[in-house]
Amino acid sequence: MTTIAVLGNGRVGGNLADALTRAGHQVAVAGRAPGAAADAARTARIVINATPGAGSLERLVALREELRGKILVDVSNATVDGPDGLPADLIHPGSSLAELLQEALPETPVVKTLNTMLFPVMTDPAALAQAPTAFLSGEDPQAKRTVRGLLRDLGWRAEWITDLGGVRTARATEAAILFVPHVIRSDGFAPFAISIAR
């Protein structure tokens, strides 16, 4: 059993928290109440950033002390939304939210994952007709091994998980969010994921 703090109690955070609790982990969910994120992060071994990506950097840098030595799993995408509320552009072109988090939090290993799919797929990957891919980006091999274990607890098979390398590779997966509005406009909100076919 691992103690996990989920920052963000929207659809993504709530979905992950429920699934990880069912898998036997001790999970605390931090909403928007003042001090809630700090309290949850302080007692956790792993912290999942499921907050809206546009404000994630400032939010998490404010928790530098609470996050020291913890694994930070970043599932957010930092985007500018268009008039329809769907992602229209990247906030950090030429970089990524994960890179900026790692730079700002050098004592907190950051692992980017699960940001290339609609949120139901994060906790039920086998529901798709074809095998999805969960990508890992990060500098710390042990942190990535730990996150692989969490993904397996969420139903991800080992062959569905691809380690892309260092945190700079998160630029690619974060840019993949720009596919999302076009797919949704074409096919609706049916669950889907970016996948590598082999």
pLDDT in tens, 15-51: 999 999 999 999 999 977 778 999 999 999 999 999 9
Return d(Cα 182, Cα 144) in angstroms, integer. Answer: 31
pLDDT of residue 1: 66
- 135 within some domain: yes
- 194 within some domain: no
Number of domains within the chain:
1
Mutual angle of helices 97-104 and 53-61, in 10-degree steps: 10
Domain extent at residue 16: 3-187
Percent of residues, the chain, with pLDDT higher than 70:
99
- 61 within some domain: yes
CATH number for the domain including 150?
A: 3.40.50.720
Q: Alpha helices of the chain — where are they, by DSSP H?
A: 11-22, 36-42, 53-61, 64-67, 97-104, 119-123, 141-153, 170-175, 180-187
Please report, for the chain, how many H helices and E strands are present, in that order: 9, 9
- 196 within some domain: no
- 55 within some domain: yes
The answer to whether the beta carbons of residues 93 and 41 sit under 8 Å apart is no
Give the count of beta carbons closer than 10 Å to the beta carbon of residue 129: 5
